[in-house]
Amino acid sequence: MNQEVIIVRGNHTLEGDVQISGAKNSALKLMAASILGQGETVLHNVPLISDIEIMAEVLERLGATVKREEHTLRIDTANVNSCETPYELVSKMRASISVLGPLIGRFGEARVAMPGGCQIGARKIDMHLVGLEALGVHFDVDHGVLEATTPQGMKGAHVYLEFPSVGATENMLMAAVTAEGHTAIENAACEPEIEDLANMLNAMGAKVSGAGTSLIEIEGVPLSSLHPCEHTTVGDRIEAGTFLVGGALTGGPLTVRGIDPAFLRMAIMKLRAMGCEVQTGKDWITVSREAPLCSVDIQTLPHPGFPTDLQAQFMLLAALADDVSVITENVFENRFMFAAELMRMGADVTLDDHHAIVRGVDHLQGAPVSSTDLRAGAALVLAGIVADGETSVHHLEHIDRGYEDYAGKLASLGADIRRVAAPSPR
Ligand code: EPZ
């Protein structure tokens, strides 16, 4: 498909209501968990984004069938007859590694290509492996492919994660559901997507408790007692946070619907600290701002700390605030590439190891910019909406991985935005 760019004209406001899609970082794992159901699992509120397409391809390569009906997926894994996920798919999306746990949980073995790193960091999986080894999984690496076997079967264990890794927690969870006996995962990741996965596993017949806290306990059940289920994905807190930043930038009022405000407590606290008015209801959040943006310090941390996936969006807010903000990225080792693009639009950011010192400026200037990762790309489009003049955002493939109809949703809120074929290089 032709490369496309987003052209956005500045000095527009974003106001009104926007429906938030299902969470990318939950739906991908729910799809992987369907392997354990050995029949047709129905998933609702699945976002229409390219990462979902790749995970569907991974499942089809394993022998599953995936039917798409708008935001519903019907995934039949009865005939999954392979436990092999090749490099060509894992290299397209590193989250494919999420099939490792359920393949081991179902077949006691798996062959999954090792994922590489990406722009934001090395993205190691050592904690996935240590945790699974504690359950009795044995790993060999054969030319870049992880070979997992369970020579003596899997037995529950008490595992302590040295870092609350989201992916490691999920892979261990999906394997431990059929490990014999009791498993405890201490220092588990507490993200809402983990709780969503555990709720679906329990609906399939698993016995998981404590998900959403740092101590998750699993009573193993026989594979035969797991069955397919119907499940609705939780709303995407990062998409919601991204739009809330858009409302905070331009003054709003902007309402995101289809999201539990409890998922965004820290981000809401920071929006209020920056001078925004935030109201919340059962499944909606409204942001507005009349006062000037106030500077704020931010430390990204595992949930319930400030989400690293909103770091770029809040750096944009800080770039237009009244003083100096210090943003510290504690989760990934290289997640400040956005700053370089923002500086091309006139922001004043000094990087010092994992700190970004952001001195507020009065305005930004539109410019041609490039997405470096999914969240930076989304933030660059927001920057174009408040900058003077026109901004063209390139490498939209990053944005399309995780935002359903991003330009269309922003246009419905008042942005002057369009996607056009990129001019061919002269
Ligand atoms: C998930 O990545 C999300 N991706 C990320 O969202 C999110 O930023 C991250 O969690 C943190 O919340 C998906 O869910 C598909 P981690 P994941 O394991 O599971 C290191 C987005 O924009 N680490 O919690 O890979 C790792 O390198 C994406 O939607 C190890 O060293 O995150 C990283 O520095 C970006 N060894 C840190 O821990 C391991 O075995 C957090 O990783 C595992 C992780």
pLDDT, tens only, 369-395: 999 999 999 999 999 999 999 999 999
Could you confirm whether 276 is annotated as catalytic? no
DSSP string, 76-95: E-TT----EE-HHHHTT-GG
Across 50-66, average pLDDT: 96
DSSP state of 292: P
Query: How large is the average pLDDT for residues 296-315?
Result: 98
Per-chain mean pLDDT for the chain: 96
Confidence band for 2, pLDDT divided at 50, 70 and 90: low
Q: 292: burial class by Cβ within 10 Å (0-12, 13-18, 19+)?
A: exposed
Residue 406 has pLDDT above 90, yes or no: yes
pLDDT tens profile 191-246: 999 999 999 999 999 999 999 999 999 999 999 999 999 999 999 999 999 999 99
Pocket lining for ligand 1, CB < 6 angstroms: 25, 28, 95, 121-128, 163, 165-168, 189, 308-309, 331-332, 374-375, 402
Nearest CA to ligand 1 atom 31: 124
- State which amino acid sits at residue 245: V
CA of 292 to the centre of ligand 1 (A): 34
- Give the C-alpha separation, 287 to 278, whole Å: 5
Residue 153 CB neighbours (<10 A): 11
Distances (CA, A) of 225 to 29, 57, 105, 406: 20, 27, 12, 41
Strand partners for 287 = 254, 278
pTM above 0.85, yes or no: yes
User: Does position 122 have pLDDT exceeding 90, yes or no?
Assistant: no
From the list 64, 66, 3, 1, the residue with the least C-alpha distance to 36 is: 64
- Confidence band for 86, pLDDT divided at 50, 70 and 90: confident
Residue 423 has pLDDT above 80, yes or no: no
Longest distance between any two alpha carbons in the chain, whole Å? 65
Say which of 118, 190, 229, 276 is annotated catalytic. 118
| Rounded distance between C-alpha atoms, residue 244 and residue 41, angstroms | 33
Find the mean pLDDT for residues 338-363. Answer: 97
Percentage of residues in the chain having pLDDT higher than 70: 99
Encode 177-215 in three state secondary structure: CCCECEEEEECCCCCHHHHHHHHHHHHCCCEEECECECE
Residue 426, pLDDT score: 60
Query: What's the rounded Cα separation, in Å, for the pair 262 and 309?
Result: 17
Quote the ligand 1 centre to 423 CA distance (angstroms). 35
Q: Quick one: pLDDT band at residue 422, thresholds 50, 70, 90?
A: confident
The arithmetic mean of pLDDT across residues 91-101, rounded, is: 94
Residues with Cβ within 8 Å of 208's Cβ and at least 6 positions away in sequence, in order, are: 173, 177, 198, 201, 202, 216, 217, 218
CA of 178 to the centre of ligand 1 (A): 25
**Closest residue to atom 42 of ligand 1, CA basis:** 165
Q: Is the pLDDT of residue 117 over 80?
A: no
Helix or strand (DSSP H, E) at 250: helix 237-250
| pLDDT the model gives residue 425 | 67
- Least Cα distance to 374 among 397, 346, 340 occurs for 397
Residue pLDDT, tens place only, 157-179: 999 999 999 999 999 999 999 99
Ligand 1: nearest atom to the Cα of 167: 19
What single-letter DSSP state applies at residue 309?
G
Question: Residue 111 has which token pair?
Answer: 């062959």
Is the pLDDT score of 74 beyond 70?
yes
- Cα-based torsion angle of the residue sequence 261, 265, 269, 275 in order, rounded to the nearest 10 degrees: -20
